[in-house]
Amino acid sequence: MSTAPVLSAVDVTKHFVVRGAVGDSAVVRAVENASVDLHAGRIVAVVGESGSGKTTLARMLARFYDPTAGEIRLDGVSVSGRPTRAYHQDVQLIFQDPFGSLNPVHRVRHNLDRALRIHDRRMSAAERRRRAVELLERVSLTPGEDFLDKFPHELSGGQRQRVVIARALAVGPKVLLGDEPISMLDVSIRLEMLNLLDRLRREDGLALLYITHDIASARYVCDDVIVMYAGEMVEGGPKDEVIARPAHPYTKLLVESSPDPDRVGTVSRDELFDDAEALGEPPSLIEPPEGCRFHPRCPFAMERCRSEAPPRTDVGGGHWARCWLHQEGRAHEIGESTFAAALTRRDEQVRA
Amino acid sequence: MTADTRADADRLVAAARAGQDEQAQADPVLDVRDLTVSYIGPDGGTVACRDVSFQLGRGEVLGIAGESGSGKSTLITALTRLQRPPATTTAGSIVFHPAGRPGIDLVPLGARALRKLRWTSMSIVLQSAMDALNPVMRLGDQFADVLRTHNRGMDRAAARTRTTELLGMVGISADRARSFPHEMSGGMRQRATIALALACSPQLVVMDEPTTAVDVVMQRQILAQVLRLRRELGFAVIIVTHDLSLLLEVADRIAIMYAGRIVEIGSARALYRSPAHPYTRGLRDSFPPLHAPLTTLHGIPGTPPDLRRLPSGCPFHPRCPVAVDACSTTPPPLVSLPEQAAECLLLTNEEAS
């Protein structure tokens, strides 16, 4: 990448302190040493299961949370403390729930107008109205005039999410952070929402972060993908490299667990679900496993994985992974069989 | 895989699934005919489920897919007779065939007769395990409660043994019987509700979005367990979800619902490879591929209709990319094809397609 990133997280860590009933407290290690660069005109997807830290990462980038360690840089300048209005003019966050993020007692006009007014006080009322219509048409709510006087409850889920995006665009941001922006929408309208994000990236040169648990939708819209597991980034790189040739066993598990109708008719159902009954669950982030956090579930785990956190290994073409297999010359084993089959084989060896 | 072996596999799978279709007709566990469900209101009724007919074979996995508001939840609450007013079954029959005994129509059945069937003949797995489990009871007590209610002769020790066995079937260790629901992960809770649904060896298990609240890896584990248990115990499954891509992998046959009707039903393979209804095609193309080359996809433009003001003719015609004039006036007939059946006017008219 030749251009400098618009927004970066550099080695950010976030720990939350939770208090128990009897005064004891625990530290939840939600995100550990995560780094991501967002470039103008590109979409980075962060995929992972719930509790993997993807939302916490987005919220640090939006500066709802201050990182426990590491820093957020906007245009190369480190930012900290209370976020300024100027920051949110550049960086906007879109939430998962379009029902909860619009004020239900106000019309669309008010919801948009407020964003316009707060961020540019000199704009006249007539000017703001014209901008509001423009914004609605930008997100394909046409004719925009027809939507100005609607209340959120009069809109479908997809239309509401478009209004949310229009409002985010009202301030003219450089970066849009989408936290599962389509997961509450009906499947038939999800693609148009992804196509909209793609248009904003191509035509307006926005830098986008797309957070999702759905690898197929990430592949559809993004350029690069980062996989998170238990608060850590375990693999990243160009989407097709990562999805077609996972360099981390967890990514492989995630890809193989995702529905892929193309397999229907070529593989029998029993084969498809064979060995998939005991794949394990992510650990608690209060006492995450030592070493590599994935080692208790990993069929390839070695002694070293139990004690030392694996370093980042570049596997070429911008594709990287944090896994000891690469340091030990065993990386080829990842691609040799399915994750489930490797797990079954390991269990048989343990028993023997 | 070479082209030859792939074609062979295709034929084998097709043969196996076609066999199941025949089995569904020969020995159904459930036979639903012209089922119509309305929500009765002050200004008449809103029909949320209209003329639904299908058969479910013993041990078969039938998937029901559709968008929100398509009537899938209305359908399964009607099937299990769990519907509450204002929802009312206004027409049709749901004949349940217990193995080796004559069929029973569930529609006119009273509470007492239904209670005899629940759990021992048919059971349900709900979407949110947290709501389905009692938060103030230990898991083991909830199992004992179900087991001893439906089998009066069972003593505490026998119930404990059976609970251990049931939990073991879904990979939960016996000491978890002492846990409260909040002490378990979401995936474990959902597996516990599946074990609970199987407690009295039902012949039919209805699952309402059983894996929507869990992550993909756990989803795969849960479905792998359900499919193995189905193989071992022989129960039939109706699984309802909005995720067609998942159903295509799990189900033998799939029913696609739109505006309260089953607009297409057929083998999973046929619905994926050659969907007959434009809505099915649109739904299939709403899931971007995981490995195949990417193209720009558009989903289905527009929104599902308001059930109180259904479009005339085919309810899908305002959103349909291939609609002809007649679609807005003529209700489409059900057309049978070799591996599926669909309600679309274009299927009756060769030149139009």
> Is A113 a domain residue?
yes
Close Cβ partners of A21 (under 8 Å, ≥ 6 residues apart): none
pLDDT of B69 reads 85
Is B248 in Cβ contact with A261 (below 8 Å)? yes
On whether residue A235 sits in a domain, the answer given is no
Q: How far apart are CA B89 and CA A186, in angstroms?
A: 27
Identity of the residue in A156, A190, A260 whose CB atom sits nearest the CB atom of B290:
A260
Q: Verify whether the Cβ–Cβ distance A273 to B227 is below 8 Å.
A: yes
Q: Are B67 and A261 within 8 A, CB to CB? A: no
Question: Both tokens of residue B323?
Answer: 């609609």
Return the number of other C-beta atoms located less than 10 Å from residue B20's C-beta. 18
In-domain check, residue A318: yes
A2 occurs within a structural domain: no
Residue in B closest to A155 by C-alpha? B303
pLDDT in tens, chain B (353 residues): 444 444 454 544 444 444 445 555 568 999 999 999 999 988 778 999 999 999 999 999 999 999 888 999 899 999 999 988 899 999 999 999 988 888 999 999 999 999 989 999 999 998 876 678 999 999 999 999 999 998 888 999 999 999 999 999 898 999 999 999 988 888 889 999 999 999 999 999 999 988 887 889 989 999 999 999 999 999 999 999 989 999 999 999 999 999 999 999 999 999 999 999 999 999 999 999 999 999 999 889 888 888 888 999 999 999 999 999 999 999 999 999 999 999 999 998 654 44
Domain boundary among A222, A250, A267: A222
Residue A230 lies in a domain: no
Residues A170 and A253 in one domain: no
Find, in chain A, the residue whose alpha carbon is nearest to that of B299: A188
Identify the CATH number of the domain in which residue A118 sits: 3.40.50.300
Interval A51-61: pLDDT, tens: 899 999 999 99
Residue entry with tokens 């000199």: A122
Residue to substitute from A55, A187, A268, A286, interface B, most B β-carbons within 10 A? A187
Report yes or no: B19 at the A interface, CB cutoff 8 Å.
no
- Per-residue model confidence (pLDDT) at position B17: 47
Cross-chain Cβ contact A192/B216 below 8 Å: no
* pLDDT the model gives residue B22: 53
If asked whether residues A127 and A274 sit together in one domain, one would say no
Residue pLDDT, tens place only, A213-269: 999 999 999 999 999 999 999 999 999 999 999 999 999 999 999 999 888 777 888
Is the Cβ of B274 closer than 8 Å to some Cβ of chain A?
Answer: no
pLDDT band for position A281 (cuts 50, 70, 90): confident
> Percent of chain A beyond pLDDT 90?
72
User: pLDDT band at A276, cuts 50/70/90?
Assistant: confident
The domain boundary residue, chosen from A196, A222, A248: A222
Find, among B310, B345, B309, the residue nearest to B327 by Cα: B345
Residue-wise pLDDT for A316-328, tens only, equals: 999 999 999 999 9
Question: Of the given ranges (A8-12, A22-26, A178-182, B94-98), which has the lowest mean pLDDT?
Answer: A22-26
CA distance to A149, B118, B254, B257, B265, per residue, from B260 (Å): 31, 26, 15, 6, 14
Å between B247 CA and nearest CA of chain A? 9
Q: Which residues in chain A are contacts of B72 at CB distance < 8 A?
A: none
Per residue in A87-117, pLDDT (tens digit) is 999 999 998 888 888 889 999 999 999 999 8
* Cβ <8 Å between B245 and A279: no
Given a contact cutoff of 8 angstroms between Cβ atoms, the answer to whether A293 and A310 are in contact is no
Show the CA angle centred on residue A35, arms to residues A167 and A320, nearest 5°: 120
The pLDDT score that the predictor gives to residue B2 is 44
- The Cα of B171 is separated from the nearest Cα of chain A by a number of Å equal to 8
Closest residue on chain B to A219 (Cα): B290
- For residue B288, give the nearest of A156, A220, A272 by CB distance: A220
Task: Tell the residue number behind the tokens 């297409």, with chain if given.
Answer: B264
Residues A215 and A286 in one domain: no
The first and second tokens of residue B20, run together, are: 């199941």
Smallest Cα distance from B159 to chain A, Å = 25
List CB contacts (< 8 A) between B6 and chain A. Answer: 266
Domain extent, residue A275, equals: 240-351
Please count the residues of chain A: 352
Identify whether residues A125 and A17 lie together within a single domain: yes
DSSP assignment, residue B118? Answer: B
CB proximity under 8 Å: B 50-109 to A: 67-68
Task: Put the strands of the sheet holding B87-96 in their side by side order.
Answer: B44-57, B28-41, B87-96, B104-105
Contact status, residue B220 vs residue A258, Cβ threshold 8 Å: no
State whether residue B28 sits within 8 Å of chain A by CB: no
- Please tell me whether residues A198 and A266 are part of one structural domain: no
Helix axes A187-204 and A157-169, enclosed angle (nearest 10): 20
Contacts of B188 in chain A (CB under 8 A): 281
Same domain (yes/no): A203, A98: yes
Query: Which chain B residues contact residue A54 at CB under 8 A?
Result: none
Q: Which residues of A touch B289 (CB under 8 A)?
A: 216, 260, 262
Interchain proximity B249–A278, CB inside 8 Å: no
Residues A31 and A153 placed together within one structural domain of the fold: yes
Residue A229 forms part of a structural domain: no
| DSSP letter assigned to residue B319 | G
CA distance A102 to chain B (A): 20
The number of domains in chain A is: 2
CB contact under 8 A, A264 and B10: no
How far does the CA of residue B185 sit from the closest CA of chain A (Å)?
Answer: 9
Evaluate the CA torsion angle B95, B331, B245, A268 in order and state its sign.
Answer: positive
Q: Which amino acid is at A45?
A: A
CB contacts of A269 in chain B (<8 Å) are: 227, 249-250
Interface A-B, measured as beta-carbon pairs within 8 A, has a size of: 150
- B306–A contact, CB cutoff 8 A: no
Q: Which residues pair with B258 in a beta bridge?
A: B261
The band of A71, judged by pLDDT with boundaries at 50, 70 and 90, is: very high
Minimum Cα–Cα distance from B15: chain A residue? A265
Chain B positions touching A158 (Cβ under 8 A) are 303
Statement to judge: residues A217 and A139 lie in one domain: yes
* Residue where one domain finishes, among candidates A190, A222, A254: A222
Same domain, A269 and A158: no
Same domain, A72 and A143: yes
- A247 in the same domain as A204: no
- Interface list for B 236-265 with A (CB within 8 A): 242-246, 248-250
Distance (Å) of CA B83 to CA B51, B119, B274: 17, 17, 35
pLDDT at residue A2, rounded to an integer: 54
Residue A179 in any domain: the answer is yes
Q: What is the pLDDT of residue B212?
A: 81
Shared domain for A196 and A64, answered yes or no, is: yes
Contact A265 B304 (CB under 8 A): no
Which residue of A219, A223, A273 is the best one to mutate when testing the B interface, meaning the one whose CB has the most B CBs within 10 A?
A: A273
> Using 50, 70 and 90 to split pLDDT, how confident is the model at A307?
very high
The values of phi and psi at residue A50, to 5°, are -65, 140
